[in-house]
A = this chain, B = another copy of it.
Amino acid sequence: MPNYAYINGTIVPAAKAVIPINDLGLLRGYAVFDYLRTYNGKPLLINHHFERFENSAKSLRIALPLTKKQITETIISLIQKSKIKKDVGIRLLITGGNSTDGISLGKPNFIIIIEDLAEPKEEEIKNGVKLIINKFQRETPLVKTTNYKNAIRHSSEKEEQNAYDILYHFNNNILETTRNNFFIFKKNILLTAKEKVLQGITRKIILQIAKEKFKIEERPVNIDELKDATEAFVTGATKNILPVVQINKLKIGNGKIGKNTKILIKMFRKYIRNCLKIQKNNKTSNE
């Protein structure tokens, strides 16, 4: 549970943080969010996250009440006040506001929550994880809305099959997992869905750094191509690159973490280290 939260200009103990029941995020699922994490106590890649958050809000015709600078300062205040010693997750959430008639937009409710970071277990990082597949395509994949109904509805199947997450496919194309982007290697070619998936920040960085070493194909990935995958992994803010070694009953590669994935993990860590160095030199929280 988070220690403190920001709501509409006020920082309050998280346990007392509430919103009115006529909020459109609650009544109509009309809300967008973004999620970033700290390294060494400082929020990383905040420029990227702010940009995506602002775009998500715009697509729902919601204007952010704070500038990027104000949001950054608020996040830093929250972290300091929360006195958390380890790294944390930061959830930005904005809704359609309190509605007078249950459907018309009101003044947005803007919330920032500091949360425990749900990093993968050591075992999962070391051995890779299993995914199960589910036919689904998110309504507005480019907009980071709060709609995770399908993910939560199917979470029991995931547990029953001892899987880490659910991989969505639609129209015979592999898309993304419930909360992450998905990549495969076919030998030295790195493939990921180009469209109808969330434009992940980690995904964007991977595509940027991977091109130094690998051929990249950003295009529709047919579900039948999974059997030709020599390696696979998911990417996201909390898990960076997490290797995938099994999808349903299909073993990926030889069922162990592949060498190219290991190379990419190293490259990504180096990228993060560089960001942290730049941050330290600039003495700002932005990368």
Contact = CB atoms under 8 A, between A and B. Distances in A.
A152 B60 CA distance: 8
Contacts of A147: 28-29, 139, 147, 149
Interface stretch (A80-88, A96-104, A198-206, A272-280): A96-104
Contacts of A23: 26
A152 B30 contact: yes
B153 A21 contact: no
Q: Which of A28, A95, A118 has the most CB of B within 10 A?
A: A28
A105 interface: yes
A124 to B, nearest CB: 16
A240 interface: no
A5 B21 CA distance: 9
B115 A145 contact: no
Contacts of A243: none
Interface of A is mostly: mixed
Interface residues of A, number: 53
Nearest to A118: B101
A249 interface: no
Interface in A125-158: 139-140, 145-153, 155-156
B21 A19 contact: yes
19 contacts: A1-B22, A17-B21, A24-B152, A26-B93, A28-B148, A28-B149, A29-B29, A29-B31, A29-B146, A30-B148, A30-B149, A60-B149, A60-B153, A61-B153, A101-B115, A102-B115, A139-B147, A139-B150, A147-B147
